[in-house]
């Protein structure tokens, strides 16, 4: 059992090492013996309070350090949030541009706007020649699928598992394949910059590439393996899907508005685009002529040589007529052996000249095929105010029948 502290028993509490307590003990002998225990307890309480305060001071210092570190983290998180917010805003704008694409003819303008939105010095979209050359404007870069595959497979990979290339432009085996040599020559700093190159995959056949999207910046640190590319990769998936949709839509439109037998526009094409020609000519107060062409004695060709031979003759006539009309005329097959030619900026004289050209080309086909009886009757109608395209066709059709009956009447 611990011996109670008496008047001459030294204190064995933490206050023994406390400077204040030591001085207080010097005063202890002046107190009455009955008050010394109470005095000692008071000193011990003060010593414990002092020790607690020292601990609190240390804890406060540690807490302040933690607050400073948390503050630095908050600032960093704010910077990351702002960067991600800006990246997402850019991504959203790029998505809107891609989704607004309606015609392959508008693709170059869309890519120019996309380059400005992305804020890059160079942006290139390469599309497979086999799939897109017939739909994009002349001059649009369309390497063969084989060349695309070889260029993508030759990109440096290293240890980066991503399907895209992210790194120095100078490391590319052929920078001029992915970027216009004129742009590289005009901006020599790009050679020391960084780039992002991603294949565009066919979402219906993921292993098939339809093209490549490439972006380059003069900043060497903009595209590096340590940077995330999730937004860009997802955008490439969206862009590839949108390009396919637009191309398929145009392909179906061509099939729908193109005559399967002859390859020239059909009645649906005429009804879709003819009104625009009439409207434009009316605004310009320019004349429009329409020629209705009907082959004479074509039924005899089918009856004598068969429908396959007749189809070949129709194809020859359509190609011959297409070679005679002007580039801004509209040639269409209505069906059977009936064709029309819509001639903007043409009056009666120009229509008469075109009619003679068409008669000559049909005569040439007849001679080449050994069909001396094959010819063409042509009716001409000039557009009058208020007429729609169907009215104009009917007027030219009536004129054609008058011409077809004229020799018999004479």
Segment 306-315, tens digit of pLDDT: 999 999 999 9
Q: Which residue has the higher pLDDT, 398 or 63?
A: 398
Average pLDDT, the chain: 86
Q: pLDDT tens, 319-360?
A: 999 999 998 999 999 999 999 999 999 999 999 999 999 999
Report the alpha-carbon angle 289-281-400, nearest 5.
Answer: 15
**Residue ranges of the chain assigned to CATH 3.30.450.40:** 101-255
Homologous superfamily of the 258-409 domain (CATH): Reverse transcriptase/Diguanylate cyclase domain (3.30.70.270)
Distance of alpha carbon 224 from alpha carbon 220, whole angstroms: 8
The fraction of the chain above a pLDDT of 90, given in percent, is 60
**Residue ranges of the chain assigned to CATH 3.30.70.270:** 258-409
Fold of 101-255: Beta-Lactamase (3.30.450)
When pLDDT is cut at 50, 70 and 90, the band that residue 43 belongs to is confident
Residues 6 or more apart whose Cβ sits within 8 Å of residue 319: 262, 263
Distance of alpha carbon 26 from alpha carbon 108, whole angstroms: 96
For residue 15, pLDDT over 80 is answered with no
Distance of alpha carbon 155 from alpha carbon 197, whole angstroms: 9
For residue 288, pLDDT over 50 is answered with yes
Query: What per-residue confidence (pLDDT) applies to 19?
Result: 63
Quick one: which of 340, 316, 320 has its CA closest to 266?
Answer: 340
For residue 31, pLDDT over 80 is answered with no
Torsion-angle region of 376 (φ positive above 0: left; ψ -120 to 50: alpha; else: beta): beta
Specify the pTM. 0.60
Q: pLDDT tens, 100-115?
A: 999 999 999 999 999 9
Distance of alpha carbon 339 from alpha carbon 265, whole angstroms: 10
* Rounded mean pLDDT, 87-94: 80
- Two tokens at 119? 């804020």
Report the alpha-carbon angle 125-131-132, nearest 5.
Answer: 50
Burial of 187 (0-12, 13-18, 19+ CB in 10 A): middle
Least confident of 3-7, 283-287, 382-386: 3-7
Q: pLDDT tens, 191-208?
A: 999 999 999 999 888 888
DSSP code, position 294: E
- Two tokens at 15? 């206050």
- Two tokens at 56? 């609190």
């Amino acid at each position: 059992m611990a011996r109670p502290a008496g008047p001459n028993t030294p204190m064995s509490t933490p206050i023994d090492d406390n400077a204040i307590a030591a001085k207080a003990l010097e005063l202890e002998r002046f107190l009455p013996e009955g008050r010394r225990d109470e005095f000692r307890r008071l000193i011990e309480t003060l010593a414990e309070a002092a020790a607690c305060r020292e601990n609190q001071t240390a804890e406060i210092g540690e807490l302040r350090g933690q607050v400073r570190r948390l503050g630095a983290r908050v600032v960093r998180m704010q910077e990351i949030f702002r960067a991600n917010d800006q990246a997402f805003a850019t991504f959203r704008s790029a998505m809107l541009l891609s989704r607004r694409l309606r015609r392959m003819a508008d693709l170059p303008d869309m890519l120019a706007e996309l380059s400005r939105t992305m804020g890059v010095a160079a942006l290139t979209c390469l599309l497979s020649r086999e799939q897109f050359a017939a739909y994009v404007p002349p001059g649009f870069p369309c390497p063969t699928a084989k060349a695309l595959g070889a260029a993508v497979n030759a990109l440096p990979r290293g240890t980066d598992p991503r399907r895209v290339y992210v790194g120095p432009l100078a490391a590319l085996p052929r920078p001029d394949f992915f970027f216009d040599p004129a742009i590289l020559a005009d901006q020599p700093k790009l050679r020391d910059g960084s780039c992002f190159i991603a294949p565009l995959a066919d979402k219906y056949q993921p292993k098939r590439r339809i093209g490549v999207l490439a972006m380059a910046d003069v900043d060497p640190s903009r595209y590096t393996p340590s940077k995330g590319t999730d937004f860009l990769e997802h955008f490439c998936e969206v862009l590839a899907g949108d390009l396919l949709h637009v191309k398929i839509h145009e392909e179906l439109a061509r099939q729908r508005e193109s005559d399967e037998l002859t390859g020239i526009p059909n009645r649906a094409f005429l009804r879709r685009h003819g009104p625009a020609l009439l409207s434009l000519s009316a605004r310009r107060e320019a004349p429009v002529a329409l020629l209705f062409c009907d082959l004479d004695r074509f039924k005899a060709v089918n009856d004598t040589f068969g429908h396959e031979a007749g189809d070949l003759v129709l194809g020859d006539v359509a190609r011959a007529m297409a070679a005679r009309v002007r580039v801004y005329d509209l040639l269409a097959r209505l069906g059977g052996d009936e064709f029309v030619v819509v001639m903007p900026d043409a009056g009666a004289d120009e229509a008469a000249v075109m009619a003679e050209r068409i008669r000559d080309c049909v005569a040439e086909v007849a001679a080449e095929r050994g069909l001396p009886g094959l010819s063409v009757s042509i009716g001409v109608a000039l557009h009058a105010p208020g007429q729609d395209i169907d009215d104009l066709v009917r007027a030219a059709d009536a004129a054609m029948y008058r011409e077809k009956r004229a020799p018999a009447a004479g």
